[in-house]
Amino acid sequence: MSAKGIVKALAACAALCAVSAPAMADDTGFAYMHDLRKEGGRTCFTDHYHYGSGSGVTKAAAQKDAIGSWASFTDFEYGSDWARFSRAASKSVSCSGGTGNVSCQIEARPCK
């Protein structure tokens, strides 16, 4: 086969692989540096917590902002598979302040 034929064959293979490849999970692989365990159908960090902080006019707004902070950093470090606060374990939320100026801190172990 000529060089031109090889290039065409490789291009066809690459196009076919791109079309038929399954969607990949978004997991950076860095989570596996930590100890993991199965918990209720999820895979969770055993003792590594992530933290988030937020503020808002109401407690609900401040909590939402803090969860966004937690999820954003967790996504950056481990990928979106780990960044769903709803799947996290050992959640802790602490808020202070009053109406119009609430601050919240959260911590949780990422799970996927």
pLDDT tens digits, one per residue of 10-60: 333 333 333 333 344 688 888 889 999 999 999 999 999 999 999 999 999
| Residue 61, CA distances (Å) to 9, 67, 112 in order | 55, 10, 25
Amino acid in the structure at residue 15: A
Q: Where are the domains of the chain?
A: 24-109
Q: Helix, strand, or coil here: 78?
A: helix
What is the per-residue pLDDT for 25?
Answer: 61
Q: Output 106 or 3, whichever has higher pLDDT.
A: 106
Distance from C-alpha of 26 to C-alpha of 67, rounded to nearest angstrom: 19
pLDDT tens digits, one per residue of 89-103: 999 999 999 888 999
pTM: predicted TM-score of the whole model, two decimal places: 0.75
Q: Where are the beta strands (DSSP E) in the chain?
A: 36-39, 42-45, 50-56, 89-98, 101-109
Q: What topology does CATH give the domain 24-109?
A: Endonuclease I-creI (3.10.28)
Name the CA radius of gyration of the chain, rounded.
21
